[in-house]
Structure 1
Amino acid sequence: MSNKPIESEISSYVGKLLRDNFGKGPSSVYVSIKKPFITIHVRDFLAPMEKILVNQSEQERVEQTRDMLMRELLPEMKATINVTADIHLQEMYYDWSLSNRSGIIIGVMHQEDHVSHTDEYEEKAEVHEEINHVSKQAEKAPEKIESFYINDRTLLIIRKGILVPIEKELIRSGFEQKLKLVKRHLEKRLINTASFEQILGLPVGDAFVDWDFNQDLSYVVLILKPNQK
């Protein structure tokens, strides 16, 4: 059965929710469902006040404000999607690219193994090697890496077991949100999109990162641009 009607319904709902709460909604919301994941890619999403702050090099203030709003919105978003689309999300993650005025929201439907091991693609080993390289520079090599395509433009990468002792101590001491902001900036600087473009043979339009510190896992999403023929 096609997911298109459900994806369209979720797209409309998320666009309205963001517009109602941020004062300006995204120009497009692209929803993809591939169990156990749902990805929501928003484009051209930057409120007028946020634009002023970004232009004044106050990106961190925008990120902190968005974090506060999203902590309020995610439970509502999860509950509404559960009811209206019959998709039972247990966890949700998100990240923004303020320079590209875009963002990603990831929903996880259940706690079982995240990836089907039959879902292979030609460049998987090279992608995992590059992710391992990035992770070692930022913290340590992951204990496990999995990846697969949600659609032909969205590559989801999951890292497990990457936190180092000092990060775990910061989390126990109540610095989770600050640590997440710092790690986002660091890892997104380290993600060499040119390397992934060479591996995948496609331009990378966006790279997003988020973590679940309690489970010691991280999601990386690469948004690819198809070649124009």
Structure 2
Amino acid sequence: MILDKQAQTEIAGYVGRLLREAFGKGPQSIFVSINRPYVVLYLRNFLSPTEKILLQQDQVHSIQATRDLLMKSLIPEIKAYLLLLAGMNIREFYYDWGLHNQSGIMVGIESEEEHGQSFPEAAYTGKEELHREIQTISQQVEKPADELFSYLINERTLLVIRKGILISIEKELIRIGHEESLRLAKRSLEKSHLHNNGHFQRFLKTDVIDVFVDWDFHLDKSVIVFTLNPGQ
């Protein structure tokens, strides 16, 4: 099921207002992709004047930490709006920022009780090669995922889901309260492998504009989102 354009426009407008109120500046544009049980919001030109100064001073972790704090208060509001407008009961919520591109991503996944298991994976160009490359990166950073799935939400949005990637030391860091530090470290480390990786464009036979990654540590689950330019 793909929601109509009006609903997607309303979701984009609402989230844009929320971000503008919280950050002082909202994204220039938000593209909403819904293919239930998934909703993906791609944000473009989203960086406040203060953040631009911090970025010039290489204070990336300061920006990430501040945004994480703000998102904790915004996520419940976004979930409530998606339930009200689209009838989507979002159980999992992920987000990441491409500060170098002034971009961002938000991913919501409906509860399995509402929609059963995830819809069947469909074939797309380069799928097997992409899965192997992501497992190689997972092996280098933590360990290969126990389960890996991917879904082409639309021609511009590729969603990859990994389950079972945390190693023992990471689980212990989470247990003793260092979840945010672990998130910042993993974000930096994994994205150094995901970005500027020419393999992905070669496998997918399309231009990769952005790559995002986030985790739900308590579910031992991660999402990676590739934003694509199929015209290239």
TM-score grouping bracket, smaller chain normalisation: over 0.9
Counterpart contact for 1:193–1:204, Cα < 8 Å: no
Q: Percent same amino acid at aligned positions?
A: 47
Question: Offset at 1:169?
Answer: 0.6
**Aligned pairs (5 A) from 1:161-172:** 161-172=164-175
Can you give the 5+ residue segments of structure 2 that lack an aligned partner in the other structure? none
| Distance in 1 separating the partners of 2:22 and 2:38 | 25
Equivalent of 1:137 in 128, 137, 140: 140
| Distance in 1 separating the partners of 2:9 and 2:34 | 11
Cα-to-partner distance string for 1:141-164 (whole Å, 9 max, x where unaligned): 111110011110111000111100
Q: Which residue of 2 aligns with 1:84?
A: 85
Q: Which residue of 1 aligns with 2:28?
A: 27
| Distance in 2 separating the partners of 1:171 and 1:31 | 32
**Aligned pairs (5 A) from 1:47-126:** 47-111=48-112, 112-117=116-121, 119-126=122-129
Q: Which residue of 1 aligns with 2:18?
A: 17
| Distance in 1 separating the partners of 2:60 and 2:78 | 25
Equivalent of 2:188 in 182, 185, 189: 185
Question: Offset at 1:114?
Answer: 2.9
Q: Which residue of 1 aligns with 2:163?
A: 160
Query: In the comparison of the two structures, how many residue pairs are matched?
Result: 227
| Distance in 2 separating the partners of 1:2 and 1:109 | 14
The residue type paired with residue 205 of structure 1 is I
Question: Offset at 1:202?
Answer: 1.0
Residue 6 (structure 1) aligned with residue 10 (structure 2): no
Cα-to-partner distance string for 1:16-43 (whole Å, 9 max, x where unaligned): 1111111001010000001110000000
Secondary structure at the counterpart of residue 169 of structure 2:
helix
Cα-to-partner distance string for 1:120-176 (whole Å, 9 max, x where unaligned): 223211110011011000001111110011110111000111100000010001001
Residue 194 (structure 1) aligned with residue 195 (structure 2): no
Q: Which residue of 2 aligns with 1:36?
A: 37
Question: Offset at 1:89?
Answer: 1.2
The residue type paired with residue 211 of structure 1 is W
Secondary structure at the counterpart of residue 174 of structure 1:
coil
Q: Which residue of 1 aligns with 2:221?
A: 217
| Distance in 2 separating the partners of 1:207 and 1:2 | 23
TM-score, normalised relative to structure 2: 0.94
TM-score, normalised relative to structure 1: 0.95
The residue type paired with residue 64 of structure 1 is A
Cα distance change, pair 115–211 in 1 and its aligned pair in 2 (3 A): farther
Question: Offset at 1:226?
Answer: 2.2
